[in-house]
Structure 1
Amino acid sequence: MRHPSRREFLKSSATAVCAAGLGGGALANSLTASAPTAAPLFPPTLSIKKGVWFEMLPAKLSISDRFKLARDVGFEVAQVPTQPDEGKVDEIKKAAEAANIRIDSVMNMDHWKYPLSSSDRAVVEKSLSGMRTSLHNAKLWGSDAVLLVPGVVNPQTSYHDAWTRSQKEIRTLIPLAEELRVVIAIEEVWNKFLLSPLEMANYISEFQSPWIKAWFDVGNVLLYGYPQDWIHTLGK
């Protein structure tokens, strides 16, 4: 039996990440639309592009070659991690453009180690600094959104505290997000927080800002929910 090569495997796979926001999606592939005045004859089509998480590409390659490989095997967009090194920020931008790969989103890298829900002010400040860097990265790279895990529930942090603390800190980031025109996209993940679509929709709607939306990962809810339910709820 012939096994597929790495290149063939990458070419046949796609990362379908849905960013569904209240009032509009975080990315170009939004799940929402304005309410039609009349029922359409045919349902709207959703343009889904093949995307890749940059860190999945071989680290032994140069940044330029990693983007070239992604394009060569059929990817059109990439999600890139926060980059605090200004020199590398520019290198990433040029390499992506040369390979004709769009960086559609930034993965904020400090939200697990330094959660916004922490009771330690020093930890929170590091988290906020990481988000500001991520937002500026996104602006330079022409990205639509920064993915943010808003908080973590653990023995030290209650559900209520994770909710109130994270919302308070995220609100301080809204002016920068608006200035840069980059969405802060809240992800549901295995952080024991925002465990239902109704909760997540309510959490986001309380910001009352078009710059705070939902980043919906289908796989993350399979353990305790139904993706289609989340999509319908978050897309309203």
Structure 2
Amino acid sequence: MNRRHFLSSSAGMAAGLGLGARTTAAQAPAPTPASPAAGRAPQPPVSSLAFTTKPRKALIAEPTEDDLKKMKDAGFDGVEGRVIPEAQAAKMREAADRLGMKIHSVLYGWAEFNSPDRSEVERTFAESEAALRTAKAFGAETVLLVPCRIGGQGAGPRRQTGTFAGGPPLRMPRPWEFRIRFDEATGHLTQVVYGDNAPYADYIKAHNHATDASREWVTRLIPAAEKAGVVIALENVSNNLWVQPEIFRHFVASFRSPWVKAYYDIGNHVRFAPPEQWILTLGDLIAKIHVKDYLLDPADPDGRGRSVNIREGSVRWPVLRQALETIKYDGWLTIESNGDIPFEERNRRLDLIIAGT
């Protein structure tokens, strides 16, 4: 059968089965006045997704009772506090209770568990224990802890510089170049890019040392967390570690403890992987979520951008909301930064996110 006969025969078979080509716009009949489409602007699709999860809304602050009232009046359910003396935290808890607000977490932040200076390691370990006690006094559920950091220096023409605990700036892949492989037994990186990994040997070495040091000192912190009844929620903000979802999940899960989970920050990771990918990968390991946005610069060869107010960046919020529904996340959504817009506007934008729009 030649090509012409084959195409003719195939078209006839498709027509008989109802599989013919779709009618083109030129062939389609024009809508009549009775047609629902006639004279009407295109309508957005109606989502049939009914969310069963109901995340709660919070801000980060070291609040006074007056601040708590303003946040409550703006529509927020709670606040993430900072490390303060236990007696002061207990009084603030009483004030929050009177207003029907919840101090749900404590933001401690940077520890230096991979520092070559043992005194720095022990100092930040003691501060982490104090943060757990503060959280208990607040009646909070978690402490946000960044266990350590390493220096990062991009491979492109515009470089991120800075000196962090663990050594001088290191050459690391640009965000879009990462293709991480790791040892399942140890969590050690074996590859960070396709092809030649020799230029990143120092970064891989520092990363693996930081993983081991973090695992050692967070494990030592678990008894204090259990005593306080407070979860250690690990975050990897701007520390150049565990920058893809699979390796971060492996690190958090490696503790095999209900007292160690992840604190996922939406804006911190946009340049490395879509937020919905982080959420679906981390899944039930997520204890809390920080709400931030990040605007990618499509003209930047290093794959970077800048932080912006929520709903002004590159996050696909309806997709992210559906990811939260998929993992059944009913926890706290805490807005970080965004200080140049009032409480009421922050609350309005967060309501839109929770609604999936």
TM-score by length of 1: 0.73
* Structure 1 residue 213 corresponds to structure 2 residue 261: yes
Q: Which runs of 5+ in 2 are unaligned?
A: 1-48, 152-162, 168-205, 285-357
- Output the amino acid matched with 1:180: A
* Count, aligned residues: 185
- Output the amino acid matched with 1:232: L
Question: What's 1:169 paired with?
Answer: 217
User: Which stretches of structure 1, 4 residues or more, deviate above 6 A after TM superposition?
Assistant: none
- Output the amino acid matched with 1:166: S
User: Secondary structure at the residue paired with 1:78?
Assistant: strand
User: Secondary structure at the residue paired with 2:278?
Assistant: helix
Task: State the alpha-carbon separation in 1 of the partners of residues 87 and 226 from structure 2.
Answer: 25
Question: What's 2:65 paired with?
Answer: 64
User: Secondary structure at the residue paired with 2:257?
Assistant: coil
User: In the TM superposition, what is the alpha-carbon distance from 1:43 to its structure 2 partner?
Assistant: 7.7
Q: Judge conservation of contact 2:113–2:148 (CA < 8 Å) in 1.
A: yes
User: In the TM superposition, what is the alpha-carbon distance from 1:151 to its structure 2 partner?
Assistant: 1.0
User: In the TM superposition, what is the alpha-carbon distance from 1:188 to its structure 2 partner?
Assistant: 2.4
Question: What's 2:231 paired with?
Answer: 183
Over the matched positions of the two proteins, sequence identity in percent amounts to 31
User: Secondary structure at the residue paired with 1:215?
Assistant: strand
User: In the TM superposition, what is the alpha-carbon distance from 1:54 to its structure 2 partner?
Assistant: 1.1
Cα deviation 1:21-68 (Å, max 9, x = unaligned): xxxxxxxxxxxxxxxxxxxxx98722111111115x6xxxxx111111
Task: State the alpha-carbon separation in 1 of the partners of residues 114 and 52 from structure 2.
Answer: 38
Distance of aligned partners of 1:86 and 1:135 in 2 relative to their CA distance in 1, 3 Å threshold: closer
Task: State the alpha-carbon separation in 1 of the partners of residues 257 and 277 from structure 2.
Answer: 23
Task: State the alpha-carbon separation in 2 of the partners of residues 144 and 174 from structure 1.
Answer: 14
Task: State the alpha-carbon separation in 1 of the partners of residues 90 and 258 from structure 2.
Answer: 28
Task: State the alpha-carbon separation in 2 of the partners of residues 171 and 196 from structure 1.
Answer: 22
Q: Which runs of 5+ in 1 are unaligned?
A: 1-41, 58-62
Aligned ranges 1:5-154 → 2 under 5 Å: 45-55=52-62, 63-83=64-84, 85-109=85-109, 111=110, 114-154=111-151
Question: What's 1:25 paired with?
Answer: none
Higher strand share goes to which structure?
2
- Output the amino acid matched with 1:142: G
Task: State the alpha-carbon separation in 2 of the partners of residues 46 and 118 from structure 1.
Answer: 41
Q: Judge conservation of contact 2:86–2:134 (CA < 8 Å) in 1.
A: no
Task: State the alpha-carbon separation in 1 of the partners of residues 240 and 50 from structure 2.
Answer: 35
The structure that has the greater radius of gyration is: 2
User: In the TM superposition, what is the alpha-carbon distance from 1:184 to its structure 2 partner?
Assistant: 0.3
The alignment yields a C-alpha RMSD, in angstroms, of 1.8
Question: What's 1:60 paired with?
Answer: none
User: Secondary structure at the residue paired with 1:70?
Assistant: helix
Larger RCO of the pair (alpha carbons < 8 Å, separation 6+):
1
TM-score by length of 2: 0.49
